[in-house]
Every structure is written in structure tokens, then in C-alpha cells.
Amino acid sequence: MPQDRLDIDLAGSYDRVAEEYVHRIYDELQYKPLDRELLDLFAERVRHRGLVCEIGCGPGHVARYLHDRGVTVCGVDISPAMVVQARRLNPEIEFRQGDLLQLDIADGAWAGIVAFYSLIHVPQSEMIRALTELRRVLEPGGLLFLAFHIGDHVLHLDEWWGHVVSVDFHLFQPDDMVAQLAAAGFHVEEVIQREPYPNVEHPSRRAYILALNNSPAFSEFSPCVESP
């Protein structure tokens, strides 16, 4: 992978599946109660603090969910076709193309970042760099909310919904992600895990992490959910 950007075919692969992705994924939150509960709590924390960005926004359904709960939100995605879909589906939200390893955003511009299954395309060797870039664009005390698949392997796709692609999905252990967040200058507030929802999503355990941009520890993010 080039050292200054994510793999160029990641964007092309998502471009090729963008329309089918909307068809299959855009309404997924209605089937994921824990995701909604955690996004509601995140929205309460950031609602009046300033602009929040969804990194790796795809068609913008998470940004839409936050917008509908009063959050001032924007979205960034590496795939131009996904940005087109996000703008079409959510015309009142600003979306732009961008690479999370080198964001064209001023330091401290955002009050919060939500990254649902976008860091899964970043290999372990680049993760601290990616997290450091996200911290750069967060204001002091800004909140980062991550979701990712739990595991130790890389899933590679050459075909996705009938389209030729080249995409790597990296699975991570929560303890490893916590360590890398700390190395990038974050304080981790919460780590939550759950089993996959049957017949709704890929059958992998999920992790959610809420982290603070280098501020003292406190937590308002503790729903009653199953422990790992």
C-alpha cells in the first residue's frame, strides 16, 4: 500500500458496488438496536458542541441518523460514487471525498468523529497513523466513536455482489485497538462488544469504542449491554 494514502482500488471497488450497497445497507440501523442506542448516546454528547463528521460515510446512513437527532454533521468517504449516493439520499448534509490518512481539514475542526467500519480498511501497520490523523482534526476533548469487526485476520474480496473488486477487511482485537488509540493520544472511555445480529450482517463479533481527545476520564456512555 502506498505510504501516503489508502489503496487506490479501495475507492474503485466501492465505486463499483455503490448502488448495490445503498440497496443492501442504507436501512440497516433499523435492525441493529444496540447501534441505535449507542448512536443516541453519542448524539447527546456532541449535539451542541459543533460539527461532527462521519468518516467512511458510504451512503450516509449513520450521518443521517445523527442529523435526525439534532447533530450538525458532515461526511467524508474515499469513494466518489459513495459521495454521490450520500448527497442524493441526504441533500441537507454536506459530503465530500477524502482519504482518512490525509484529510484536507484544519486542525481541531470537528467536535466529534464517528467511524463505523471505516478503519477496517486500514492495516495494523498504518493504524496509529490513521488514528493520529483523526485526533489532529478533533478539537481538544473531542469524541471519537469507532465500530469494527473483532478478529485477528484479514478478509480479502475479489468479488462483491457480482462486481470485480479488490478489498481487504481487517479485523482487530479490542485490546489492540485500545493500545493504538492510547499511542495516538486518545483516552478510551468505553469498550463494548456484542454478538452479530443473525441474518442482518456478516457473522462476526462487533466492538464499539468511545475515545476522548486527550482529556481527563469521565463517562456518560454506559448502557446496560452484555459484557464480552
What tens digit of pLDDT does each residue of 2-29 get?
444 455 589 999 999 999 999 999 999 9
> Does the domain made of 8-212 have the CATH classification 3.40.50.150?
yes
Q: At a CB cut-off of 8 Å and minimum separation 6, what does 75 contact? A: 53, 54, 57, 60, 63, 83, 86, 93, 94, 95, 96
Distances in whole angstroms, Cα of residue 74 to Cα of each of 55, 192, 203, 225: 9, 25, 29, 29
The pLDDT value recorded for residue 214 is: 82
Where along the chain do its domains lie? 8-212
Mean pLDDT of 25-44: 97
What's the burial of 145, exposed, middle or buried (CB within 10 Å: 0-12/13-18/19+)? Answer: buried
Q: Is the pLDDT of residue 225 over 90?
A: no
Element (H, E) at 44: helix 33-46
Q: Note the pLDDT of residue 2.
A: 40
**How confident is the model over 60-118, as pLDDT tens digits?**
999 999 999 999 999 999 999 999 999 999 999 999 999 999 999 999 999 999 999 99
What pLDDT is recorded for position 174? 98
Q: pTM here?
A: 0.91
User: Picking from 62-66, 147-151, 210-214, 218-222, which range would have the lowest pLDDT averaged per residue?
Assistant: 218-222
Percent of the chain residues topping a pLDDT of 70: 90
Question: Is the pLDDT at 216 greater than 50, yes or no?
Answer: no
